[in-house]
Amino acid sequence: MSNSDGQVLSVDEIHALVVDVLASNGCDAENASAIADTVASAERDGCLSHGLFRVPGYVKSLRCGAVDGKARPTLTRPAPSVLRADVNLGFSPLALAMTRPELIEVARRQGIAALALVRGHHFAALWPETEALAEAGLAAMAFTASRAAVAPAGARRRFFGTNPMAFAFPRGDRPPLVFDQASAAMARGEIQIAARDGHTVPPGMGIDLDGEPTTDPKAILDGAQLPFGGYKGSAIALMVELLAAGLIGEAFGYEAHENANPASGVQQSGELIIAMDPACFGDAAGWLVHTEAFFARLTALDGVRLPADRRRRTREVTLREGVRVAPALFAEIRGLL
């Protein structure tokens, strides 16, 4: 259905459209489907900055040869609880999907397992990786370092990536608790959307090239974003750099910035995922009852909602009614076929 407000597509139709676009631009079927999973789930959950909006970027990086759309990961095991996936300069979603079963298996066997993903390209939200692990009964954390975009607390120029981290905790028969947040005050995708649509952004999101505060998204994209919460968010960004770059031998934000492909602007990046089996930490019989009592007390407080509640509410609606895609974005994506 189409009208002046846009095209309404089912989540499956979005998936099929993304597969077609990627397949006609150099992805094989497995990579196209894995990327389409992340794009369609972002649209389904109302995370527009990591949905169809990203597809032109995927295509640009394929067309200029910066990313191998047919890559397969190479999995090694440097230590009993540590898996390492070399994405071989492909996109990360297929490597994540292919390595997840072994990560789950090792976490259940050892109690804790980590996956270091290197030499990949990650343009997506992080919650899908932690949510999938929590749905398998594991507590999970994920970190990815990205190209320099954020000024550390006190600095007047970019150095850290927007460096998101996600966390998920299993809740038995209930959907898991999941949060996923950039360490920048605002996701870069949101600032790009504001720039595209000609809106300002709230104060405190960024500074211009001279280091002066601004609400102009274009000036922030040229200058630097700011971390959330001042020096506290800056410390989280610092931690993400060390875990998703220093620890696993991948590029820090400033290195990714300096080494970005000149034609497409894309850069490879690392990701660290940690999975923990609550049954292996000494309270196998009681942890679920204990944590559910915690959630019951927490959600009884006035004004509290759990992270991921908004996403899940949006998901219920979009699965029933479809997703309305803005006409210009729909036309742009169809034009990539």
B/e letters for 293-303, b = 16+ CB within 10 Å, e = fewer, are: eeeeeeeeeee
**The one among 179, 254, 287, 295 contacting ligand NDP by CB under 6 A:** 179
CB 311 → ligand NDP: shortest distance, Å?
4
Look up 50 and say whether it is catalytic: yes
Instruction: Verify binding: residue 240, ligand NDP, rule CB under 6 A.
Output: no
**The one among 310, 316, 331, 334 contacting ligand NDP by CB under 6 A:** 310
Contacting range for ligand NDP; rule: CB under 6 A; set: 12-20, 57-65, 69-77, 116-124: 116-124
Q: Which residue among the candidates 10, 13, 30, 49 is catalytic per the annotation?
A: 49
Residue pointed to by tokens 């999975």: 275
Contact map string, positions 45 to 84, toward ligand NDP, x by CB under 6 A: --x--x----------------------------------
CB 150 → ligand NDP: shortest distance, Å?
10
Contacting range for ligand NDP; rule: CB under 6 A; set: 26-34, 111-119, 125-133, 169-177: 125-133
Instruction: Verify binding: residue 318, ligand NDP, rule CB under 6 A.
Output: no
**The one among 81, 88, 181, 192 contacting ligand NDP by CB under 6 A:** 181
Q: Which residue among the candidates 41, 43, 50, 61 is catalytic per the annotation?
A: 50
Contacting range for ligand NDP; rule: CB under 6 A; set: 10-18, 233-241, 254-262, 303-311: 303-311
Look up 49 and say whether it is catalytic: yes
Between helix 29-44 and helix 92-110 the angle, nearest 10°, is: 80
Instruction: Verify binding: residue 307, ligand NDP, rule CB under 6 A.
Output: yes
Nearer to ligand NDP, 226 or 308 (CB): 308
**The one among 53, 58, 127, 159 contacting ligand NDP by CB under 6 A:** 127
Region 155-174 residues binding ligand NDP, contact defined as CB under 6 A: 162, 164
Look up 190 and say whether it is catalytic: yes
Taking a C-beta distance cutoff of 8 angstroms, is the pair 269, 240 a contact?
Answer: no
- Give the residue among 111, 72, 10, 61 at the shortest CA–CA distance from 336: 61
Nearer to ligand NDP, 164 or 223 (CB): 164
Instruction: List the catalytic residues.
Output: 49-50, 190
Contact residues for ligand NDP, defined by CB under 6 A: 47, 50, 122-127, 144, 146, 162, 164, 179-182, 187, 305, 307-311
